[in-house]
Amino acid sequence: ASKAYIDLVGKKATTPCGKTIALHMNAGLMADLPSLASSGADGVGLFRTELQFLIRNSVPKRGELATLYSSVMDAARGKRVAFRTLDIGSDKVLPYMKPQDEPNPAMGWRAIRVGLDKRGVMRMQLQALIRACAGRPLTVMFPFIAQFEEFRAARAMVDAEIENEKRLGHVLPTSVEVGAMLETPSLAFAPDQFFMEADFISIGGNDLKQFFFAADRENERVRKRYDTLNISFLSFIRQIVERCDAHGTPVSFCGEDAGRPLEAVCFAAMGLMSLSMRPASIGPIKNVLRQVNLDDIAEIINAAAKRGDQSVRTEIAAYMVDNGVTP
């Protein structure tokens, strides 16, 4: 952590109104892991496993992956690591995968869609994760789940691999948590049964915002048109949190916006009690949350919604200035 935040490393992100927000970090390489201790993050909320696949020119072997995942778990020293299975599509082409000629790769054959259609790679990855987590907890989440059936099918693959390990007489993970990334608006409207069966939900805000506004996250021109602090988007986040809360399903947010101060306080005011961000943001976000009354923020958002405002950015920024809140 940078010098300014060293004092905060051992402290919690507890607001003056008494809410404690869990702050996790996003990672994708072994080299990111030292940040877990230095930033004071509560765990790794998103481990993007595709980087390991992208940096080489042949499919990694199961044993190599198991060794890597095991080192990640060792480096986490008992803190939770949520491994996200491969999020590969025709925009992130693997050197050894035939490129798909798709007009809209972001909404094409990617992530769980590939995993469920070409099961070999996902099975191998799940086996590596299960072996790496033998004798300790396994947390795995699936990217880009757009409908309940996809989650069920993915979860069934985890169960099958666990059964297999058991049959082979191998040591199993002490617990298995299987989550879904909510990155398409459709999943927010999934049946109640989905929220009961998912062990946790992680909102992939980068993709969710892109599909909520139908604005390409890679296209500056349209991306900037739509504010994350848009009242409709915040209200959507609140509805997702309410559905999760109603079923006791833990929910967190792991898009880039979680690491931005105004966004983070608004998400927390919408009821998100867990955020995952790049390590360098942990200190500043913790510092801000420790100074902000979330009831005030919720009130500002509600008032803006009543007035029919488009975004709450100006008001939240003014609140920060008026109350001397600094990152």
Do residues 241 and 271 lie in contact, with contact meaning Cβ atoms separated by under 8 Å?
A: yes
Look at the block and give the residue holding tokens 């507890």: 14
CB 269 within 8 A of CB 294: yes
Q: Which of 77, 102, 80, 79 is nearest to 90 (CA)?
A: 102
259 binds Mg ion (CB under 5 A): no
Candidate residues 45, 255, 283, 284; the one interacting with ligand PEP per rule CB under 6 A: 255
- The C-alpha atoms of residue 35 and residue 50 are separated, in whole angstroms, by 20
Is the CB of 183 or the CB of 263 nearer to Mg ion?
A: 183
User: Quick one: which of 48, 131, 243, 286 contacts ligand PEP (CB under 6 A)?
Assistant: 48
Joined together, the tokens standing for residue 318 give 């003014």
Alpha-carbon torsion angle 131, 50, 261, 106, nearest 10: -130
Comparison of 136 and 278: residue with beta carbon closer to ligand PEP: 278
Beta strand segments in the chain, E? 13-14, 20-27, 43-48, 80-84, 138-142, 176-182, 200-203, 251-253, 274-277
Closest CA to 122 of 101, 102, 143: 143
Q: Which of 40, 205, 259, 279 binds ligand PEP (CB under 6 A)?
A: 205
204 binds Mg ion (CB under 5 A): yes
Q: How far is the CB of 204 from ligand PEP (least distance, A)?
A: 3
Q: Which among ligand PEP, Mg ion, none contacts residue 292 (Cβ within 5 to 8 A by kind)? A: none
| Stretch of residues binding ligand PEP (CB under 6 A), selected from 51-59, 75-83, 162-170, 198-206 | 198-206
Q: How far is the CB of 291 from ligand PEP (least distance, A)?
A: 26
CA distance 115 to 121: 7
Residue 108: both structure tokens together: 């094409």
State how far the Cα of 31 lies from the Cα of 51, in Å rounded to an integer.
Answer: 12
Site string for ligand PEP, 211-250 (x = CB under 6 A): ----------------------------------------
Residues 63-92 that bind ligand PEP (CB under 6 A): 87
Please, what is the minimum distance in Å from the beta carbon of residue 269 to ligand PEP?
20
Give the nearest distance from C-beta 233 to Mg ion in angstroms: 16
Distance in angstroms (rounded) separating the CA atoms of residues 130 and 50: 17
Binding test (CB under 6 A) with ligand PEP, winner from 32, 161, 165, 207:
207
> Which of the ranges 146-154, 200-208, 222-230, 234-242 carries the binding residues for Mg ion, by CB under 5 A?
200-208
Count of residues that interact with Mg ion, criterion CB under 5 A: 3
Place of tokens 């955020």: 275
Rule CB under 5 A: say whether 165 interacts with Mg ion.
Answer: no
Token code pair at residue 327:
């990152």
b/e per residue, 171-192, with b = 16+ CB within 10 A? ebbeebbbbbbbbbeebbebee
Give the range of 90-98, 207-215, 242-250, 299-307 binding Mg ion by CB under 5 A: 207-215
- Residue 205 interacts, among ligand PEP, Mg ion, none and using kind-specific CB cut-offs from 5 to 8 Å, with ligand PEP
Is 46 a binding residue for ligand PEP by CB under 6 A? The answer is yes
How many residues bind to ligand PEP according to rule CB under 6 A?
10
Contact between 204 and ligand PEP per CB under 6 A:
yes
Contact call for residue 183 and ligand PEP (CB under 6 A): yes
Binding site for ligand PEP (CB under 6 A): 46, 48, 87, 183, 204-207, 254-255
